Amino acid sequence: MRWAIEAGYRHIDTAGAYGNEKSVGLGIQQSGIERKKLFRDDKTAVGRYGPGEQMKGFENSLKLLQLDYVDLYMLHWPKEGKTLDSWKVLEDIYKSGRAKAIGVCNFTERHFTELFLHAKN
């Protein structure tokens, strides 16, 4: 990770499911780069969707990454019966300032439309 930053990489993508948060956090610290010069995104693992587990997962991710916030936090995949509640958790994280933006990935048009109809942010 440190070498990638030294080579000029500034957008760093992680996810709980990738298992790379600790090594990425260490690499960022070793690089000595200013936090504001990086764009960091992270994703909620599908197995952690829902209010209790999801918030614990997010807080653990910040701890492993050694960061106070991420630039973008996303739902990794849609999950029937869990997506809307999980989006509400993302809205709370956004309101707290610990994610500068929230979003989704791997959603189809149907999933995105359903979410759009219920999302506040």
Cα–Cα dist 63/83, whole Å: 24
Cα–Cα dist 13/4, whole Å: 12
pLDDT band at 65 (very low <50, low <70, confident <90, very high): very high
Share of the chain above pLDDT 70, in %: 99
Residues 38-57: tens digit of each pLDDT: 999 999 988 888 888 899 99
Give the helix ranges, DSSP H, for 1-121: 2-6, 21-31, 51-65, 83-96, 109-118
Residues 14-30: tens digit of each pLDDT: 988 888 899 999 999 99
Out of 18, 49, 69, 94, the active site residue is 18
Q: Where are the domains of the chain?
A: 2-118
Q: State mean pLDDT over 71-85.
A: 93
Greatest C-alpha distance within the chain: 43
CATH fold of 2-118: TIM Barrel (3.20.20)
CA angle 80, 84, 87 (to 5 degrees): 125
18 as an active site residue: the answer is yes
Closest CA to 43 of 77, 81, 82, 93: 77
Residues 89-118: tens digit of each pLDDT: 999 999 999 999 999 999 999 998 989 888
